[in-house]
A and B are shown apart, each in its own frame.
Chain A
Amino acid sequence: MMQTDVLVVGGGPAATWAAESAVTAGARVILVDKGYCGASGAAAASGNNLWYVPPGPKREASIRKKADQAQGLVDQEWMERVVSTTWDRLFDLSDWGYPFPVDDDGIQRRSSLQGPEYLRRMRRRIHRAGVQILDHHPALELLIDADGVVAGAAGIARQDGGRRWEIAAGAVVLATGGCAFLSGTFGTNPDTGDGHLMAAEAGAELSGMEFSTHYGPSAAWGVHTKGRMLQFATLYEADGARIDIPPGGSVRGIAMAREIAGQQVFASLEGVPENLRDMMRYSQPNYFVPLEKAGIDVFRDRYPLRMVYEGTIRGTGGLRVAGPECQTTVPGLFAAGDVATRELITGGISGGGAYNGSWAISSGTFAGRGAARFAAARGLRTAELRPDGRVGLRPERSGTAEPELADELITATQDRILPPALTVRRTGEELLITEKITDGLWQTARAELGGRTDGRDALRDRQAAAMIAHLRWITASALYRRESRSMHRRLDYPELGDQNYRIVVGGLDEIWNRPETGADERLAS
């Protein structure tokens, strides 16, 4: 069995910042990624705007403004930590050579990171710092020691015939991303909620799972959900009539309403002046490149839009953060990036835009340092490590599943979350139906799913279990929040109510909810 002080699971920004922070703190670090560290996840494929504000009155004003937008649920102290850590860490990234744009005054503009370049740099940095990177090593389960402390993980080497690996570690950082239920949104398909499932098996709590209703606009035939440039778009009906965007309205809002109504809407950037066009292209290449490949000149043509689900990636919920080092509620287990709830800094609004990028950097930093400290204090235990994975790995009735079972379970799960009519406009009635259906899916998975040896099959089984669990937490939390707040909208409770607290959820066979209490918060600060 391989051994290390800190094991980081994941390969996106939060994972690399965690690995960098742990190795710099003196820990031996192994990073295992499902895909390729540098290309995996939502950030590498896209652009990353950051919440990047200098210290002083401007920062204070930004925090105040964001706290107001968040309709409660945020934690001012956390907001300050995140924005100040992001600020500091971007100086490091600059030192490591990230090629920031420089403005006319010779100042680096650091509020945006181009995904491929950013993650390539981060990989190089952690490699040089001594982190051992294992690509195509999806983790399937945690290892727990005799004291109930997380002490490693196990998984498969999918480019090595699905060979099983086990790594003992003094502490584990989960940085496995959110979950978009394989909706296809580019960059997000590695993010199937595997980390959430592993953590929940060990007893970790989640929070904010009802804040999971975000969709992004892409071409009707595509997966490239890029919204920023669409603020400059002109919209048209299918019959060519121009759609007026009312004051306070947005392209996104209109596209979403049309999607729910089953009406196609068309967009064009025809109104953008020539002198801005190149600038836009270099700022958002993966908005323009896919459209150009499809033969669309957005500055001339109109193209149809669709809205694609972005789950808890550009939603907000995730593992509950139970301490300043991004501890989960399970000893030895830390969470960074989108696998953790971002409510502390966003409340119930989307983490897309600038929050998630800054959260990845800062939570990665906190978790990496915390895990290094935990591992140094406790030391490595390698005796009697128990593999903790269950549903999707070790079925109760082994060998009974049809080969199509995982695909069927995934499709049945997607059917209850991807349609915006179910997710954007929730009702108690539909949520109860989803609850009933997903209870059944979980029972089936528990009984039959798993035990296949091929690498892709084994991973797919586990992913299916992870997505069912994810939807069950989302559904329970959406039922529990009997009000409309931020991105969570209930048609049967259309007003903002008095649930001015975060909603905790957990459990696997039995899902439970409770309000987060003052005692929880005091522990976390």
Chain B
Amino acid sequence: MIEIVSKDRCVSCDVCIRVCPMNVFDRGADGIPVISRQVDCQSCFLCEAYCPTDALYVAPFDHPVPAGSDQADEQAQIAAGALGSYRAVLGWGRGRRNGSRLDQNHLFGVNGVGGAGGPGSGVRP
């Protein structure tokens, strides 16, 4: 679930408020988004993907983290390189190459059903 909105990084562009499919954020009085409905967050990471300044962090859990957790600690997550990690792998952002260009799913077919059309499907390491 969403845990961190970095006040230092946020540029009040409102894009997370718009793109969140679960309508988790509201605009705060100071222009910084407020996590108003954390319980509705489905950890899809799309707010992170769209945030132009890597100001958001969505923890990988289905529940809010307990107080004092590293997972809600902005400095700890910046140090871990976690802010913006999804956007980086998608290749979104200036100067990056689209991650989809590196998509090799046709080599990783699922036994039986998936990987249709990929002649190399079913590669096993």
A135 and B18 contact, CB distance less than 8 A: yes
Q: A291 CA to B106 CA in the complex, in Å?
A: 23
Q: Are B115 and A36 in contact (CB under 8 A)?
A: no
B19 contacts chain A at the CB level, 8 A cutoff: yes
A interface secondary structure, majority: loop
- Take A69-B113, A117-B90, A285-B90 as given contacts and tell me if A187 and B42 are in contact as well, using a CB distance cutoff of 8 Å: yes
**When A39-B46, A282-B99, A293-B59 are in contact, do A49 and B116 touch as well, CB less than 8 Å?**
yes
Contact bitstring A1-44, B, C-beta under 8 A = 1, else 0: 00000000001000000000000000000000011101111001
Instruction: Report yes or no: B49 in contact with A224, Cβ–Cβ below 8 A.
Output: no
Of the listed stretches A225-233, A359-367, A382-390, A471-479, chain B binds: A225-233
Which residues of B lie under 8 Å from residue A231 when comparing CB positions?
A: 108, 110-111
Interface residues on B, range: 35 or more
Whether B9 is near chain A, meaning CB under 8 Å from some CB there, is no
Assess A188 versus B85: contact at CB under 8 Å? Given A41-B21, A114-B100, A221-B60: no
Stretch at the interface among A99-107, A443-451, A490-498: A99-107
Hey, what's the 0/1 contact readout for B90-125 against A, CB within 8 Å counting as 1? 101000001111111111101111111110000011
Q: Give B68-99 as 1s and 0s: 1 = Cβ < 8 Å from A's Cβ atoms.
A: 00010000000000100110011010000011
Nearest to B85 among chain A residues (CB) is A289
**Shortest Cβ distance from B99 into A: residue:** A282
Q: Which of A44-66 contact B (CB under 8 A)?
A: 44-45, 47, 49-54, 62, 66
Across the interface, name the chain B residue whose C-beta is closest to A11: B21
Q: List the B side residues contacting A34 at CB < 8 Å.
A: 21
Q: Choose one: B61, B92, B100, B114; the contact of A228 (CB below 8 Å).
A: B114
Partner of A53, one of B37, B46, B50, B116: B116
* A354 partner residues in chain B, CB cutoff 8 A: 113-116
Nearest chain A residue, comparing its CB with the CB of B114 = A353
Among A47, A289, A294, which residue has its beta carbon within 8 angstroms of that of B89?
A: A289
Cβ of B44 and Cβ of A44 under 8 Å apart? yes
Report chain B residues within 8 Å CB of A221.
60-63
State the main secondary structure of chain B at its contact with A.
loop
Pick from B20, B49, B62, B103: contact of A116, CB under 8 Å? B49
Chain B neighbourhood of A11, CB < 8 A: 21
A111 in the interface (beta carbon within 8 A) = yes
Q: A36-B20, A222-B60 are in contact. Are A111 and B105 (CB under 8 A)?
A: yes
Q: How far is the CB of A171 from chain B (nearest CB, A)?
A: 25
Most chain A C-beta atoms within 10 Å of own C-beta, residue among B43, B44, B112: B44
What would 18 A/B residue contacts be, using CB atoms closer than 8 Å? Answer: A36-B21, A39-B19, A39-B21, A40-B21, A44-B21, A49-B105, A51-B116, A100-B101, A101-B101, A135-B18, A136-B18, A190-B22, A221-B61, A231-B108, A279-B102, A282-B89, A293-B71, A350-B113
Residues of A at the B interface (CB closer than 8 Å) are 11, 34-36, 38-41, 44-45, 47, 49-54, 62, 66, 69, 98-102, 109-114, 116-118, 135-136, 158-159, 184-190, 219, 221-224, 227-229, 231-232, 250, 271-273, 276, 279-286, 288-294, 349-350, 353-355, 456
Q: Told that A222-B62, A281-B89 touch, could you supply 12 new A-B pairs with CB distance under 8 A? A: A50-B116, A100-B101, A109-B103, A111-B106, A117-B90, A117-B99, A222-B60, A279-B107, A282-B104, A285-B89, A292-B82, A349-B113
